[in-house]
Structure 1
C-alpha cells in the first residue's frame, strides 16, 4: 500500500461498535480483556467502485462484518491468509462510507500481519487424504466413509469430509457444470480411435445449437440438442458378428434427466454383450437412428465387416422400430414378453375372466414354433370370441397384427425378454452411480469407465472372461 500522512486516529473494540447494553450488575463475571485497535486513515477513494476494486486487486482481504451508524457505514475486512474460524490476524482494514459524501475512506490497523506466527490448522494429513481417497475408490458412499473413519478413531467432522469429497470429485470428474460448447469440445478431444482394444472413445457425436437450422431434424424449434456414443474397438468387433441386438433407455443417472441409451447384442447362448452407451437430449427416432448409424459406420471403418442386424429385441416403441427400418430397411422386432403381459393385464383389470384369460395367454407364450402358436391361437380365439369380444378385438389389433413376436418359438436363439439389458441398467445404478444423479460433465467420465469395464471383461486374456459365443454351447435338436 502507498504511504500517507497519518491523521487523527480513533480506537474501537474488536467487538461490534454498537454493543447492546444489558443490565448485568447482579452477575459477577471475570472481566474480559479486550484488545484495543488503533485505526489509521490511509487513503480516500472517489467512489465505492474504486475502493472495492483496489481491495480485490490485493487478493488478501475478505469481507468480515458491517457496522451501520447515523454517520455512515463501515465494512470491515479480515486477512484471508488465516482460516475464518479461529484466531484472526492483527492486520485488518475497513472502508468507511460517509452519508454526506460519495467518497470512500480506507482505514487500516497499525498492526503488522502476524499470521506467520499462528499455528496453521490442518484438517487433513496426507495420510488421511490417501485413506479417504482409497475409500472413495471403493465406491463407498459418504455416510459409509464417515462411519469407517469413526471406527478407526479418526476425528473428523461430517462437514469436513463433505467438503473434501467435493474437492475430490472435482479433481476426478471435473467441474460440475458444462455447456454445449464444452460438451462438443469434450467429445472432440475423446474421438480419436486408440490403439488399445479396451480403451474408450467417442465413436460419434452431434451437437446442435438452438440457432442452427437443420431441415433433416423434426424436433421442436429453439431447442439445444446433443448426442454422443461411447464404445471400444473390442465392442465393435462383437457388433460385427452380431445379428440380434437389444435397445433400451434408462433414466435418473444425471441431474438434467437426459436419457442414457444402451445398445447390446445377444450371442448364440443368449448372453448379452453391451456394444456401447449413448447419452442424448431426447429419446426419439432420430436419436436411435444416430446410434444405429454410429455402430454401422464404426464397424465398417474400424473393423471392416458390415453391421447388419436381423432382429431387434425392444419394447416395441415406434421410435426404435422406425429407426431400425430407416437405417437397415428392417422392422423385425421381438416384443418383450413381460412388457406385453403387463399391458394385457392392465386391459383386463375390469374383466370378470381376467385370470383365466391370462393363464391362456401364458400358455400361448410357451408355444415352441409358429405352427404350434397358430393352432393354439385359433383355439384361444374360438374360446373367447363370444364371451369377451371387446378384449379379443383389442388383443388381435395390438398383439397379433402389430406385434406377434412375443412367444418362445419365434426364434430359438432370441430371448423373449429384455431382462439382461435391464439388469445391466440396474448394475449401472447400483455399482457405478450408486443411485445418485451426477452432472452431465461428471457422468461423461463415469460412462467411459462403465464402457471400459464392459470391454475389458470380454478380453479373452482375462481370468474368466465373458466370451461371445458364435455357436450355441448346447445344440437344440428338433
Structure 2
C-alpha cells in the first residue's frame, strides 16, 4: 500500500509539474480555433471563460499555432503537383492557384486602390507569386490574397487574377470591386490586362520608376522612358494615396 501510495504521489507530482496549459484551457483554445477566431479574439475569450487562470503569451501562441496546424492538409511539392496534373490531364505549365480567406478578402470591400506585385523569392520552388492588397492611411500594407502561377508574368495571368478578384467580390458581396486605381511596377502584363478595370488609371510605382531611371537614364532616349508609356508615375498622381509598392 505504501508503494502504491508513493507511486500515485509520484505520478501526481509529474502531472502537476507539466509546463502545458491546463486541460480546460487547451480544450477552449481548440474550440476557438475551429470556430475561426483570431489570436486576439481567443485571448479575450479566455480571459472571460477562465479569469483566474494564468496564461502566458508564449504558451498561448504555441498552442494556437499547434491547434491551427492539426487539421491542415499535407504540404505538397511541385513534384506532387506535377503528378496530380498528369493524373487529371492538366497542363502544369498553365497553372493558376488563387489563395485567400474570407477574413483577408473582406478588406477589399471598401478599397478603391489595388496594389499588385510579383515575387520570385517567396516560394522555394521559385514559382512566381502574385501578391495583391492595399495600403491603409497608417501606411500598413493589407494583403487580400496571393496567386501562384507556373509561368512568367504576362497579361493572361494578370487578367485571370483581376477577373478572379471581381468574380469573388460578386460572389461574396453581390457587387463588383470598387477599384478605381491600380498600382504596380512597369510589367507590361498588368498594363495589358487593364480591361478588367477599364476606368482605373494604371499607377506606376514611384520606387520602381526612380530605380529604373537611375539605372538606364544614360542608355535610352527620353522617348523610351516610362513617362510617356505610364504617365501616372509621379508622386501625387493619385492624391492622398500611396505612390509606391515598396513602403510609403
- The answer to whether 1:316 aligns with 2:186 is yes
Which position in structure 1 is the counterpart of 2:90?
Answer: 209
Match of 2:114 in 1: 245
Q: Quickly say closer, same or farther: Cα 1:291–1:411, change in 2 above 3 A.
A: same
Aligned to 1:409: 236
Q: Distance in 2 between matches of 1:175 and 1:340?
A: 37
Partner in structure 2 of residue 301 of structure 1: 171
SS of 2:163 mapped into structure 1? helix
Question: Using the alignment, how far apart are the partners of 2:122 and 2:211 within structure 1?
Answer: 25
- Structure 2 residue aligned with 1:178: 80
Alpha-carbon distance in structure 2 between the residues aligned to 1:300 and 1:257 = 32
1:248-327 pair list within 5 angstroms: 248-282=117-151, 283-323=153-193, 325-327=194-196
Indicate conservation of the 8 Å contact 1:248/1:314, yes or no: yes
- State the Cα distance separating 1:326 from its structure 2 match: 2.1
Task: String of CA shifts for 1:394-423, please: whole Å, max 9, x gaps.
Answer: 3354233222323222222221111149xx
User: Structure 1 residues 408 and 178 mapped into 2: Cα distance closer, same or farther (>3 Å)?
Assistant: same
User: Could you tell me which residue of structure 1 aligns to residue 66 of structure 2?
Assistant: none
More helix by share: 2
* Deviation readout 1:108-167 (Å, 9 max, x if unpaired): xxxxxxxxxxxxxxxxxxxxxxxxxxxxxxxxxxxxxxxxxxxxxxxxxxxxxxxxxxxx
Larger Rg: 1
Secondary structure of residue in 1 paired with 2:189: helix
Contact 1:269 1:413 in 2 (8 A): no
Q: Quick one: structure 1 residues 349 and 244, their matched pair in 2 at CA, closer, same or farther if it must change by over 3 Å?
A: same
Unpaired runs of at least 5, structure 2: 1-71
Q: Report the alpha carbon displacement of residue 225 of structure 1 after superposing the two structures with TM.
A: 1.6
CA contact (8 A) 1:245 1:312 kept: yes
**8 Å contact 1:270–1:413 — kept in the other structure?**
no
Aligned equivalents of 1:291, 1:337: Cα separation in 2:
23
Change (3 A) 1:269 1:254: closer
Q: Specify every segment of 5 or more residues in structure 1 that has no aligned partner in the other structure, as ranges.
A: 1-170, 186-206, 211-222, 351-390, 422-478
CA apart distance, 1:244: 0.5
Report deviation, 1:247: 0.7
8 Å CA contact 1:229–1:277 kept in 2: the answer is yes
For 2:181 and 2:86, how far apart are their aligned partners in 1?
33
Any idea what SS the aligned residue of 1:273 has? Answer: strand
Cα distance, 1:312 vs structure 2: 1.0
1:263 is displaced (CA, Å) by: 0.6
Query: For the residues of structure 2 that align with 1:420 and 1:258, how far apart are their CA atoms?
Result: 24
The structure carrying a bigger strand percent of its residues is: 1
What is the distance in 1 between the residues matched to 2:76 and 2:244? 39
TM-score by length of 2: 0.61
Q: Distance in 1 between matches of 2:158 and 2:140?
A: 22
- SS of equivalent to 1:313: strand
